[in-house]
Amino acid sequence: MFVALTTPVRWRIVAPHAIAWREWNGEVVVRAQSGSVHLLNPFASLVIRLLIDSPTPLSTDELSSALQASVSGSHLGEARDEVDASIEEFERLGIVEPGPS
Amino acid sequence: MIVADLPVGRLAATLAGPGLRLRTGPVVTRIRSTVPEVLAGIALHYSQHPIEDDEGFADFHVQVRPPPSFRRWVAPQLFFDFDGMPPFRPLPRAQAFPMLEWGLNWCVSSHAHQYLIFHAAVVERGGRALILPAPPGSGKSTLCAGLVHRGWRLLSDELALLEPDTQALVPLARPVSLKNASIDVIRGFAADAGLGPIVKDTIKGAVAHMKPPVDSVRRAGEKALTRWIVWPRYEAGTVGRLTAWPKSRSFMRLAENAFNSSEHGRSGFETMAKLIDRCDCFEFVYGDLEQAATVFAALAQQE
């Protein structure tokens, strides 16, 4: 019998004061800590808004569940794939980091 | 005192000696040169600009000069010096005035970091400014030149200077640089356009400068708040029309046209976001300058 020894990674915005963002018409423009500026697609914009608004770090499961409800017609698996892709990109850009579980 | 107050002989002596302290909007540049084309260009294009006294402060010290070598006589070239050093390669002597203009643009875009600076033309009407950012070849300068001959005030053909604290655009009314086919377009559009000589075979093709309108030069102290950001593109045969452009994408395109956003860091992002917030953003494809001017006249009538 195997027991899961790891807990899911929970994500948070890297030092909120270090990034800047603005939303117009459902699309978020974000300035990363490095100074680079990025236009997020509508789905990634929803992901980043959840992370910005959440007082605690969120797992990809929590993000997927929240977004499944807000994106009509999306299945949980599809939402999770898109959340994973968004988080991977955000981490590469230095916008999010793993937080305490 | 303005440049036109100086007899040509005294203007030449000032340029050759202590330098001409030329005020263009918020910037004073001390210009030195013995090159006749520079003298002629300044006398024509900057005749209405103020000049400061010889002891006054200058933001930039520049010189257009021949090299101290045989290239003074054989296939003659000229250097543009900034604080005694040439930041660029020399250019053929025939390009003396365009070289001065490009050098002055570089001085401002590389050093005037009290402003957030965009590569854009700016015009104003009824107290509201229109920013026209665009890459070279888009028809930005042609449209700008056309609009200033149809009731708009020229703030700049090349550099939008945005004050971060006030969101005001600061005028920098200087000659409008026209390239290639645009030269004849403007010549046909406004007989009194005040075009200088055509300089061929520059890196941008044939170039001619258009003298800034006197009213725009005299009102160089009047800042303006932006109301519109329009991305122009010339396309032959097209009936010009404005198409709403998303603010998020306008922000990104504007960022691509910013010279010094990295100098302003996070506050530069916030300044740009406020600018986008206050503006209506459009794309504008046009094929006829007169019809384009009509479209913008109608835009200026809107609340």
> B64 to each of B2, B30, B34, B174, B230, how far by Cα in Å?
21, 11, 8, 18, 35
A1 belongs to a structural domain? no
- Structural domain including A39 reads 10-97
A81 belongs to a structural domain? yes
Query: Which residues in A lie closer than 8 A to residue B249 (C-beta atoms)?
Result: 27, 39
- Domain boundary among the residues B111, B133, B161 is at B111
Residue A93 burial (10 A CB sphere; 0-12, 13-18, 19+):
middle
Q: How many domains does chain B have?
A: 2
For residue A67, give the CATH number of its domain.
3.90.930
- Structural domain including B62 reads 3-111
Q: How many domains does chain A have?
A: 1
- Domain boundary among the residues B53, B77, B111 is at B111
ipTM for the assembly: 0.87
Tokens at residue B77, please? 């070239």
Residue A24 forms contact with B (CB below 8 Å): yes
Cβ <8 Å between B249 and A39: yes
**Sheet strand arrangement including A37-39:** A20-24, A27-31, A37-39
Distance in angstroms (rounded) separating the CA atoms of residues B150 and B290: 9
DSSP string over B86-113? --S--EEGGGHHHHHHHHHHHHHHHH-T
- Domain boundary among the residues B65, B82, B111 is at B111
The label of the residue with tokens 């504007």 reads B254
Residue B244 forms contact with A (CB below 8 Å): no
- Can you say whether residue B125 is alpha, beta or left, with left for phi > 0 and alpha for psi between -120 and 50 degrees? beta
**Sheet strand arrangement including B199-202:** B176-179, B205-210, B199-202
A72 belongs to a structural domain? yes
Q: Please check whether residues B187 and B43 belong to one and the same domain.
A: no
Q: Please check whether residues B86 and B187 belong to one and the same domain.
A: no
Q: Please check whether residues B95 and B146 belong to one and the same domain.
A: no
Q: Please check whether residues B257 and B125 belong to one and the same domain.
A: yes
Q: Give the residue among B126, B104, B12, B120 at the shortest CA–CA distance from B59.
A: B104
A4 belongs to a structural domain? no
Q: Tens-of-pLDDT digits for all 303 residues of chain B?
A: 999 999 999 999 999 999 999 999 999 999 999 999 999 999 999 999 999 998 889 999 999 999 887 666 667 899 999 999 999 999 999 999 999 999 999 999 999 999 999 999 999 999 999 999 988 888 999 999 999 999 999 999 999 999 999 999 999 999 999 999 999 999 999 999 999 999 999 999 999 999 999 999 999 999 999 999 999 999 999 999 999 999 999 999 999 999 999 999 999 999 999 999 999 999 999 999 999 999 999 999 987
Q: Please check whether residues B22 and B126 belong to one and the same domain.
A: no
Q: Please check whether residues B106 and B239 belong to one and the same domain.
A: no
Distance in angstroms (rounded) separating the CA atoms of residues B193 and B149: 8
Q: Are B52 and B21 in contact (CB under 8 A)?
A: yes
The label of the residue with tokens 């930039």 reads B60
The nearest alpha carbon in chain B to A32 belongs to B266
